[in-house]
Structure 1
């Protein structure tokens, strides 16, 4: 039986799976959203709701703000929807514009405040349920961040806060200065992105030095009741129908194993891939990135499946491409 989500333990009635909305809004340009973009959004929302998903994950940069604009139109078309779902968004990345040489990260207080005002305007709502700080900013002043988050909470614009792509040490630094608890950490985790598992089994072994996943991050989140969310949990379809041409043998073999398990359990490869994450006792919440209704509904069985310890390890070792010590 799956463990309750840390979010649920905090009284937030989030679904076991969330829908990531990065695919909404069309291209990453400055063109206005279209009726077709909005139609696609409605279809994705309907598919998500049909399998019990009530949490939707955004970021201010997704399709340069157009993903949130699509959702804003959905709220206009369905005004009761806002109070029936949980909205999470992120800020802190500044996308490259003409004349820039790179994207940059910005956790300055003013940028955070301005970003949230933009998010609320595009969504057409007075508040968001959770705001995540998107990627670590090397120039971050935690006291400045704390002041901005305090202002957002006091104004009723954000109910809860979290982070994305951060280590335990980075979370601890922020939490030292912030009164509000950080309740989410969204990380890249999937059956293809397994460094979060490798980090734990490789302590005091030679391979550990080559693993960049920060040691202790999962453990810290579990101890502090911080919701671990997995972005990219479907591994861009590697194990559920995407072409495997030019993929390494371990990926090909793992895809075959996933399909075999799906056939044996009478479900879909997508459900098996998500169930592998959700079997972990950390109560990981996958944030699926597809907005294709068929692929969304293909995930329906994920929270009903139980993988045995052997099945879990067989998938892990196959993806890893090497036996455990």
Structure 2
């Protein structure tokens, strides 16, 4: 498993992580099998959120109850969670009180004394950077959170936080797959007349911004086709892409999941892929793409087959 350096945290982590969004209905044995498959593949980074499950902290609790990690076992993994979404209210909340309350809930649910990485889950339009800074400083000084980041944030939203937040922004978790890659496609089509692909929808140059500022991009839903539930392996929806993926999978002796993951890990931004599957076999298949050396021609070929324009 290839590792990447999270610059502002001085952490060396695998370029793939396991997301625990869908484990609420799994048995303890199934959770352990899933986590074991990840660990065996070299993945020791686990991604949670307070809203995962049918109630707050449910998946965090399921993870802790199924694994019952000893202190030494806890030290060998990296735990990440996200806060800021209020699902019952249908709004976002980055106030000091909400952040502190939800982190305390995550600590209890995970049965741990610290969270290695805390992300603000979605941008809060009513955010007051000073409140976020106060929460981050308190959580850090108390040892409850070691590092901080964001999710689904634009460059401008990150810069706004940085007007007050003194703790480094280490990561930004955003949706990214071959078929859902506007943050890449926009730059490729920049200055192209009459191209909707060139339209700026992320505040402008998110990937370049993160590279310049040492922020690790974490790619969620790496196999999803877009905003719906369909996946990019859907032959009816993406016939040219699936044909190209299958050809590359046969060429490299891997499963299609490895090619889809490798398209992301091949990018020089040193991104981290968040695998949201509950199937151990799919974890193992995707892990083979951790350091798969796609050529430029292969990478751009997949991009074009997904329907993106290369001027």
Alignment TM-score, normalising by the size of structure 1: 0.88
Structure 1 unaligned residues grouped into runs of 5+: 27-35
2:208 to 219, 225, 228: 219
Residue pair 2:185, 2:198 contacting (<8 A) in 1 also = no
Distance in 1, matches of 2:85 and 2:27, equals: 24
Q: 1:33-112, aligned counterparts within 5 Å?
A: 36-63=26-53, 64=55, 65-76=57-68, 78-96=70-88, 103-112=90-99
- Tell me the secondary structure at the aligned position of residue 294 of structure 1: helix
1:204 equivalent in alignment to 2:203:
no
Structure 1 window deviating more from structure 2 (123-132 vs 66-75): it is 66-75
Query: Structure 1 residue 214: deviation in Å?
Result: 2.8
Equivalences, count:
302
Question: Cα distance 1:114–1:286, how it changes in 2: closer, same or farther (>3 A)?
Answer: same
1:179 aligned partner: 166
Structure 1 window deviating more from structure 2 (129-138 vs 207-216): it is 207-216
Query: Structure 1 residue 12: deviation in Å?
Result: 1.2
Residue pair 1:21, 1:67 contacting (<8 A) in 2 also = yes
2:15 aligned partner: 16
Query: Structure 1 residue 302: deviation in Å?
Result: 0.9
Quote the RMSD (CA, aligned, Å).
1.8
1:257 equivalent in alignment to 2:244:
yes
For residues 185-212 of structure 1, what are the alpha-carbon distances to aligned partners after superposition, in whole Å with 9 as ceiling and x for unaligned? 0011111102011111222233256452
Alignment TM-score, normalising by the size of structure 2: 0.92
For residues 246-274 of structure 1, what are the alpha-carbon distances to aligned partners after superposition, in whole Å with 9 as ceiling and x for unaligned? x2xxx221011101100111111011111
Structure 2 unaligned residues grouped into runs of 5+: none
Distance in 1, matches of 2:27 and 2:105, equals: 20
Distance in 2, matches of 1:111 and 1:41, equals: 29
2:263 aligned partner: 276
1:116 equivalent in alignment to 2:115:
no
- Tell me the secondary structure at the aligned position of residue 13 of structure 1: strand
2:304 aligned partner: 317
Query: Structure 1 residue 8: deviation in Å?
Result: 6.2
Distance in 1, matches of 2:147 and 2:173, equals: 14
**Structure holding more helix per residue:** 1
- Tell me the secondary structure at the aligned position of residue 149 of structure 2: strand
1:31 aligned partner: none
Query: Structure 1 residue 16: deviation in Å?
Result: 1.5
Query: Structure 1 residue 72: deviation in Å?
Result: 1.5
